[in-house]
Amino acid sequence: MDQTPESGASAAAHIFLDKEAPAAWRALNGLGLKAREAADEAGISRTLVELMHVRISQINGCAFCLNMHVADALKAGETSQRLAVLPAWRDTGLFTARERAALTLAESITILPDAHTRDREDAFAREHLSTAEYSAVSWLAITMNAFNRVSITSQHPVRRDQRQPTAQPAQP
């Protein structure tokens, strides 16, 4: 039977990849932990790691990961102002050269632009990141992209935070 959205398949018809193949999910989580270890060893702060996770998830449109990593970024000390302008980070003076290099590299790995653009962005990243930082940022981006794809494919739901008040529609 056709299970495309047009065929009227119910939302329950999707498959949670992490539940269907738990060994593969554990392996991906293990890779994510190793990427974070590399970031820690390279001296990349938790706030920068979370900024990259948020930016990659914004590009990929992963609601589940955005929900999780915005909360993680705030817990790590990131400001709501910087999170609010993150989609336009290139147009602000709120990010350091090192953060800009990490975001540039993370975006390039996520978007995979043409070779000329990749070379230019890679050169900028190499100018501001050590070899260990460059490697760690690359692995963080690679794993975050994989997590985004698992969550998007699985249609992981974003549940309402019961601690937050429900927004009321504006009155005319």
Q: pLDDT above 90 covers what percent of the chain?
A: 84
For the chain, what is the mean pLDDT? 92
pLDDT band, residue 120 (cuts 50/70/90): very high
What is the pTM (predicted TM-score) of this model?
A: 0.87
Residue pair 111/148 in contact (Cβ under 8 Å)? The answer is: no
Question: Domains of the chain: which residue ranges?
Answer: 27-154
Give the pLDDT of residue 126.
98
pLDDT higher than 80, residue 12? no
Size of the chain in residues: 172
- Measure the CA–CA gap between 52 and 56, rounded to whole angstroms: 6
CATH homologous superfamily of 27-154 equals: AhpD-like (1.20.1290.10)
pLDDT higher than 50, residue 46? yes
Handedness of CA 28, 33, 37, 39 (dihedral sign): positive
Radius of gyration of the chain (CA): 18
Give the pLDDT of residue 165.
62
pLDDT band, residue 3 (cuts 50/70/90): very low
Give the pLDDT of residue 167.
61
Give the pLDDT of residue 169.
62
pLDDT higher than 90, residue 172? no
Q: What is the largest CA-CA distance in the chain?
A: 56
Give the pLDDT of residue 98.
98
